[in-house]
């Protein structure tokens, strides 16, 4: 869930991963750039203007190569595309990128964590979201720059500056392979997308600044944050989406640009280009760039294996003939930031999410409509941080499972805490939450028959 994904280098993708992909979200940021913020789309360009836009792409590709230091290694494939063609293309790519079973898993995770309601149609949302925002994109699968034929020339040049940076990244680092290198770890994929999109946003902004070095603009980060928030009001599908999805959609561009700018200050574009060979392993490194660029000696979040907790499939659920596992993934700091930000408060998210250290979750589909079982395990920076998160999630469970019984709170410092809450619904499905040391684990939507065994199993995890 980290992310409703839609990742760079991907044409369309999923939710708990909800990273929004290269093929769709670029214009979200592009339209917030000062150079084009007030530019309104014009009528479809005449044939001569269309050809001019195609020719301009090669010139802008060379310009972005000079800015970034990434070489042009081959001829650029480019194609003009109409609005109907754009919609059809994005829909087809979405189905290629997210086959039905992956779409189901992503939607189930969103519903199980309480991010969307039981009637939420994730595929319909993604199609509307993409087509609302599409203005042109580079497709790393087809190695082609698709240019909208209805976009005004001045906005088109800004779109091209961003998207052709992706073309250069692709020629040097193979974006398709780069973005598919961490399957079943949405957090790691989100970190890679933030690098790809933040880098392209930075290069695009440098192109708009001309000879003024972007490193010399002191208030750029805060200015961009404000502009993005202002411009997103133009997109009704985005504006009405849950906070979790909105935050995840903007993360690659906003936090990704902050990360990229930190690398640029340390060693210019050469240093930033090196990050593709050793990319950040988690979104914690995107939120806190010094964890990547200048890690402390005992940094706890820099190794990929430290960001994932073991959570094998529980035997009690696997044996059940009525349950089917539909998702297994990692939320990461981005996922828990967005989750806490939506379901508790953004203030609490800012205070607590940086204490995230590792997690894993599983989602099972039951026989009834929108009937899901969630099992999750998280690790935090300290027992105190784990207790704070457990307190927040306990309150969320009590809201979702109103008919509950609450056991006495565990003694301070207890290695193994007794279940702090054991709510149940009239449908005989249970939820329980455990804390031990720096970990907080829970399960919800558990069929009553499997609940006792699952609770013991979860408490006994090494």
Average confidence (pLDDT) over 259-285:
95
For the cut 50, the answer to whether the pLDDT of residue 105 exceeds it is yes
* Residue 195 maps to a domain: yes
* Residue 407 maps to a domain: yes
* Residue 303 maps to a domain: no
* Residue 172 maps to a domain: yes
Q: Which two tokens stand for residue 440?
A: 């907080």
Best CA proximity match to 19, nearest among 244, 328, 341, 199 = 244
* Residue 300 maps to a domain: no
Q: Which two tokens stand for residue 245?
A: 């999805």
Query: For position 34, what pLDDT does the model report?
Result: 34
Domain boundary among 261, 293, 325: 293
Average confidence (pLDDT) over 334-339:
97
Residues 372 and 435 in one domain: yes
Alpha helices in 294-345 (DSSP H): 315-318, 332-343
Best CA proximity match to 89, nearest among 31, 141, 155 = 141
Residues 201 and 314 in one domain: no
Give DSSP secondary structure letters for 196-207: HHHHHHHHHHHH
Average confidence (pLDDT) over 236-255:
91
Q: Coil, strand or helix: which one is 430?
A: strand
Query: For position 298, what pLDDT does the model report?
Result: 57
Q: What is the pLDDT of residues 358-389, one digit of tens each?
A: 999 999 999 888 899 999 999 999 999 999 99
Confidence band, pLDDT 50/70/90 cuts, at residue 413: very low
Task: Tell me how far apart the alpha carbons of residues 170 and 456 are, in angstroms, rounded to a whole number.
Answer: 48
Task: Tell me how far apart the alpha carbons of residues 39 and 218 are, in angstroms, rounded to a whole number.
Answer: 25
Residues 128 and 172 in one domain: yes
Residues 48 and 135 in one domain: yes
Q: Which two tokens stand for residue 111?
A: 């519903």
Q: What is the pLDDT of residues 110-148, one digit of tens each?
A: 999 999 999 999 998 988 887 776 678 899 999 999 988
Task: Tell me how far apart the alpha carbons of residues 80 and 53 are, in angstroms, rounded to a whole number.
Answer: 9
Residues 405 and 313 in one domain: yes
Three state DSSP letters for 386-400: HHHHHHHHHHHHHHH
Residues 280 and 318 in one domain: no
Task: Tell me how far apart the alpha carbons of residues 24 and 230 are, in angstroms, rounded to a whole number.
Answer: 19
Q: How far is CA 103 from the centre of its chain?
A: 15
Residues 258 and 122 in one domain: yes
Longest Cα–Cα distance of the chain, Å, equals: 76
Residues 167 and 96 in one domain: yes
* Residue 42 maps to a domain: yes
Tokens 């998280």 correspond to what residue? 378
Query: For position 362, what pLDDT does the model report?
Result: 97
* Cβ neighbours, 10 Å, residue 418: 15
Please say whether the beta carbons of 379 and 309 come within 8 A: yes
- Under 8 Å CB-to-CB from 265, ≥6 apart: which residues? 215
Q: Which two tokens stand for residue 61?
A: 């590709």
Helix axes of 122-133 and 83-97: crossing angle, nearest 10 degrees: 140
Residues 238 and 362 in one domain: no
C-alpha dist (Å) from residue 69 to 65, 140, 269 = 5, 20, 7
Average confidence (pLDDT) over 433-449:
94
Q: What is the pLDDT of residues 14-37, one digit of tens each?
A: 332 323 333 333 433 333 333 333
Q: What is the pLDDT of residues 288-316, one digit of tens each?
A: 999 999 877 655 444 545 566 899 999 99
pTM of the model: 0.85
Residues 9 and 44 in one domain: yes
Residues 74 and 213 in one domain: yes
For the cut 80, the answer to whether the pLDDT of residue 4 exceeds it is no
Q: Average per-residue pLDDT in the chain?
A: 81
Average confidence (pLDDT) over 29-58:
51
* β partners of residue 375: 362, 443
Q: Round to the nearest angstrom and report the end-to-end CA distance of the chain.
A: 24
Residues 143 and 250 in one domain: yes
Could you list the residue range(s) of the whole structural domain that residue 241 is in?
3-293
C-alpha dist (Å) from residue 314 to 246, 358, 401 = 32, 19, 22
Best CA proximity match to 19, nearest among 441, 331, 361 = 331
Domain boundary among 240, 263, 293: 293
* Residue 191 maps to a domain: yes
* Cβ neighbours, 10 Å, residue 278: 8
* Residue 426 maps to a domain: yes
Domain count along the chain = 2
Domain boundary among 237, 266, 293: 293
């Amino acid at each position: 869930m980290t992310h409703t994904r839609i990742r760079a280098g991907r044409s369309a993708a999923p939710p708990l991963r909800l990273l929004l992909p290269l093929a769709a979200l670029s214009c979200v940021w592009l339209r917030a750039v000062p150079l084009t913020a007030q530019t309104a789309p014009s009528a479809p360009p005449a044939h001569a203007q269309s050809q001019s836009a195609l020719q301009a792409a090669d010139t802008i590709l060379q310009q972005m190569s000079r800015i970034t230091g990434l070489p042009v290694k081959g001829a650029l494939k480019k194609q003009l595309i109409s609005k109907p063609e754009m919609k059809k293309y994005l829909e087809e790519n979405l189905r290629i990128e997210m086959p039905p079973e992956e779409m189901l898993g992503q939607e189930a995770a969103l519903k199980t964590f309480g991010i969307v309601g039981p009637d939420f149609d994730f595929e319909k949302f993604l199609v509307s979201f993409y087509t609302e925002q599409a203005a042109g994109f580079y497709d790393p699968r087809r190695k082609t720059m698709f240019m909208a034929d209805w976009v005004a020339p001045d906005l088109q040049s800004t779109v091209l500056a961003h998207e052709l940076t992706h073309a250069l990244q692709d020629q040097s680092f193979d974006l398709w392979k780069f973005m598919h290198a961490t399957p079943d770890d949405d957090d790691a994929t989100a970190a890679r997308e933030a690098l790809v999109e933040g880098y392209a946003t930075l290069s695009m902004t440098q192109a708009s600044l001309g000879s003024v070095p972007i490193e010399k603009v002191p208030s750029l980060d805060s200015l961009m944050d404000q502009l993005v928030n202002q411009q997103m009001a133009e997109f009704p599908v985005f504006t009405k989406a849950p906070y979790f999805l909105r935050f995840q959609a903007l993360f690659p561009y906003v936090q990704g640009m902050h990360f990229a700018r930190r690398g640029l200050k340390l060693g210019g574009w050469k240093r930033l280009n090196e990050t593709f060979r050793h990319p950040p392993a988690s979104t914690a490194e995107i939120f806190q760039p010094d964890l990547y660029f200048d890690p402390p000696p005992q940094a706890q979040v820099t190794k990929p294996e430290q960001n994932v907790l073991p959570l094998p499939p529980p035997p009690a659920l696997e044996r059940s003939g009525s349950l089917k596992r539909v998702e297994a993934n990692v939320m990461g700091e981005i996922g828990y930031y967005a989750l806490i930000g939506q379901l508790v408060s953004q203030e609490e998210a800012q205070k607590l999410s940086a204490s995230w250290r590792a997690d894993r979750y599983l989602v099972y589909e039951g026989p009834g409509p929108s009937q899901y079982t969630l099992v999750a395990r998280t690790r935090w920076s300290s027992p105190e941080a784990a207790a704070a998160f457990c307190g927040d999630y306990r309150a969320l469970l009590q809201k979702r499972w109103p008919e509950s019984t609450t056991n006495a709170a565990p003694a301070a410092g207890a290695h193994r805490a007794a279940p702090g809450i054991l709510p149940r619904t009239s449908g005989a499905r249970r939820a329980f939450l455990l804390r031990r040391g720096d970990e907080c684990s829970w399960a919800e939507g558990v069929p009553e028959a499997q609940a006792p065994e699952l609770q013991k199993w979860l408490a006994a995890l090494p």
